[in-house]
Structure 1
Amino acid sequence: MTRRTMLWLFALELSIVQIHGAQQDGWQSNSALGRQVLAAGRAHEAQRLFEQALRTAEAIETVPGRRVFISTSDLGAAYQAQKKFAEAEALDRKALEIARVAGIPDRELLPPLTNLAALLREMGRYAESESVYCRTLTIAEREMAPYHAQTYRILRELAFLSAAQGRPEEAEQDYLRALQPGESGEAIEADELVTTRSYLGDLYRKQGRYAESAAQYAQAMSLLEQASQKGRLRIGVLSRLGQLAADQGSFRRAESLYRTALGEAQKTLGPENEQAAAILNNLGHLYTSKENYGRAKETLEQARTMWEKLRLPENPEFATLLNNLGAAYYHQRKYPAAELLYQRALAIDKALLGTEHWSVARDLNNLGALYLDTRRPTEAELVLLESAASARRSASPSPLLPQTLLNLAELYRKQERYEEAEDFYQRTAEAWESLLGPENPEFARKLDLLATAYRGMAMYVQSGNLKSRAAAIRASNAFQQLSK
């Protein structure tokens, strides 16, 4: 080999090394910057950076390895932040398969596993999500110690899933465990404590344990000074306090809290932002519950305009906003506008969540109620039956099933199909009992309503039986109160 050839080969090798070095630098810089902008809430921008990083990683690694695994996982996180669930799930699963083939250590699997579990939770696939979180928890406890901050976060998510699947006792235990300091003496970050106490407050609020809920929110508020995301977290706690006040019937206090949260969101994050849109949605729903439909429509239209101006994704939160806006139009008897909004919400939820999610059951029930009021019984029956089927298949217990069954019973009663009406009133009672419990005072109120319906069909024996049962529940509760 001539000296000239040797020099040429050396120069070529050096050039290849320099190219690979430049690629490595580009991969690292795009990955790091992508994570920064994703944390700042600029998911679409993060997506472009992660796509560049992935292309670079694939150029460096002819056989997918650690870089391709990391970039695939990062890109999945960016899609997930945009609520692009199908793309995110495919990328998370692809990252995990690359890790399996490449022999990536378990510790490094935590990001895609956590992302996949959270994604499945958002889609309402609670059993699958729980399974992935359990695997994640096993790895975290083994690789990062049982009392690492990551372990607490996973416990909190498992608690949320237990609550969503109708296991409030398990949920409470996991939340309380997630709040305990570790045996190693490792402190839990204030941000994590605020979030966990907020979730626990939500659990108590939904159970009607309002004093305990308020105590958790108060403790969350007291920790804000130590939190790194103080502004964002404070807005969240204020909004939760607004929900608590609304649930207790304190509408004026609820409105004041929502207005305070809205002002702080606009001051901290700018006049138009996602948190402000969410608070306006809550505020509009509050006005609907107060039967102030004009103000509800105005507030919810403001939320929708903000959402669309910000080009936020058409995700389940947006579908909820559309449902609330549809309800405002519905109560004003503006049925065509309400129907369009309900149908748009249904299309979004079906595309993102599938047919076995409570949100889909809600959308269908709203449409069915509208068809009932507009004398379209055939369409009403079809969508209400579909709603009941979705509610039954949903992993999350909710009032939607008894509400839908009641709508069907009312439909059959109006059509003088009394045998079917009686059957569905009975199913409604069973669904309320399953949801509320046989001794719940609210169940007694539901039985009274059903008794009135039976009386309207001249079924006096059935009506009397329900009235007697409701009275027995009240007497039992009164006796228990006297015994305390």
Structure 2
Amino acid sequence: GGDGSEAAWVGAYKAGVAHERAGAYGDAEARYRDVYEVRRRQHGPRSVAVATAARDVARTLALQRRYGDAQRYYAEAVSLCASLLGEAHPNTACALTDLAAVMREQGKYEEAEAHAQRAVTSLRRAVGDADVSTGTALYNLAGLAKRQGKFALASRSYAEALSIFQRCGAGSRGEAADTLYQCGCLHRKQGAYDKAGRYFAAA
């Protein structure tokens, strides 16, 4: 605005991006926190701009392995996006995916799975089953299920992800191959060696 606050946050944001690219995550975090505070003053605590700024702070915290701190900012972003944009919005799904990832890093697998499941539902409503982002969300959910020994859920989620990646064509070949490999690992873990072999061969 006219008080120079826009210039203040834009400058801080650009500095944050530069620090993040250089791997100086602590410096990036400090600049993104500046943006977060300015955006809160500009728009109040409940705005999409604040949610975006919170995700930037959270990402740099996660890059420093400060997962508990990152979790708080990602949770704020999820809450804001869900209430302001709705559950069926890509921003909400992305924030849920990020939150699930930092939960996973803390070993909170059940909570991470719940957020990942919500991200899948959100993306299915927002972009449908023909979009690679939905496949990626299903892949993430499968990994969390596998980690907890929930092999039926993992197998179903990997199969759905694979179907999406294969439908998405050449641009998703790498994701499809990786999913086939993970399917092979999953079946090998359950002692289904023939089935595992077929997946490994296809990958």
In the TM superposition, what is the alpha-carbon distance from 1:202 to its structure 2 partner?
1.1
CA distance in 1: counterparts of 2:201 and 2:23, whole angstroms: 31
4+ residue segments displaced more than 6 Å: 249-255
**2-structure distance, mates of 1:72, 1:135:** 21
Instruction: Quote the RMSD (CA, aligned, Å).
Output: 3.5
* 1:98 maps to 2:38: yes
Distance 1:210 1:200 in 2: 12
Shift of 1:93: 0.9
Instruction: Give the fraction of aligned pairs with identical amino acids, expressed as a percent.
Output: 21
Cα distance in 2 for partners of 1:130, 1:88 equals 17
Match of 2:24 in 1: 84
Bigger radius of gyration, 1 or 2? 1
| Residues 211-360 of structure 1: pairs in structure 2 closer than 5 A | 211-224=152-165, 227=168, 231=171, 233-243=172-182, 245-246=184-185, 248=188
Tell me if structure 2 keeps the 8 A contact 1:175–1:200: yes
- Deviation of the 1:120 alpha carbon: 1.9
Aligned counterpart for 2:83 among listed residues 142, 151, 156: 142
**Letter of the aligned partner of 1:96 in structure 2?**
Y
Distance 1:244 1:70, change over 3 A: farther
Q: Does the 8 A contact of 2:57 with 2:70 survive in 1?
A: yes
Q: Is the 8 A contact 2:48 2:80 kept in 1?
A: yes
Cα distance between partner residues in 1 of 2:161 and 2:17: 27
Q: Secondary structure at the match of 1:147?
A: coil
Query: What is the aligned partner in structure 2 of residue 179 from structure 1?
Result: 120
User: Is 1:65 aligned to residue 42 of structure 2?
Assistant: no
TM-score, normalised via structure 1 length? 0.35
Q: CA deviation at 1:107?
A: 1.8
Which residue of structure 1 aligns with residue 103 of structure 2?
Answer: 162
Partner SS for 2:121: coil
Contact 2:166/2:173 (<8 A) preserved: no
Question: What are structure 1's unaligned runs of at least 5 residues?
Answer: 1-60, 261-484
Cα 1:129/1:181, change in 2 over 3 Å: closer
Question: Which residue of 1 is the match for residue 59 of structure 2?
Answer: 118
Counterpart in the other structure of 2:145: 204
Structure 2 stretches of 5 or more lacking a match? none
2-structure distance, mates of 1:169, 1:253 = 30
SS in 2 for 1:180: helix
Q: CA deviation at 1:237?
A: 4.2
Q: Is the 8 A contact 1:181 1:188 kept in 2?
A: no
Check whether the contact 1:205–1:244 (CA below 8 A) recurs between aligned residues.
no
How far apart are residue 199 of structure 1 and its match? 0.5
CA gap 1:171/1:65 in 2 versus in 1, 3 angstroms: same
Higher relative contact order, structure no. (Cα contacts within 8 Å, ≥ 6 residues apart): 2
CA–CA distance in structure 2, aligned partners of residues 107 and 177 of structure 1: 19
Q: What secondary structure is seen at the aligned counterpart in 2 of 1:179?
A: helix
Q: CA deviation at 1:162?
A: 2.9
> How far has the Cα of 1:196 moved from its partner?
0.8
Whether the 8 Å contact between 1:147 and 1:181 is mirrored in structure 2 is yes
Cα shift readout 1:248-295 (whole Å, capped 9, x = no counterpart) = 3669778756xx5xxxxxxxxxxxxxxxxxxxxxxxxxxxxxxxxxxx
Read off the aligned partner of 2:175 and give its amino acid letter: G
Structure 2 counterpart of 1:371: none
- Structure 2: which amino acid aligns with 1:114? R
1:97 to partner: Cα distance: 2.5
Query: Which letter does structure 2 place at the counterpart of 1:179?
Result: V
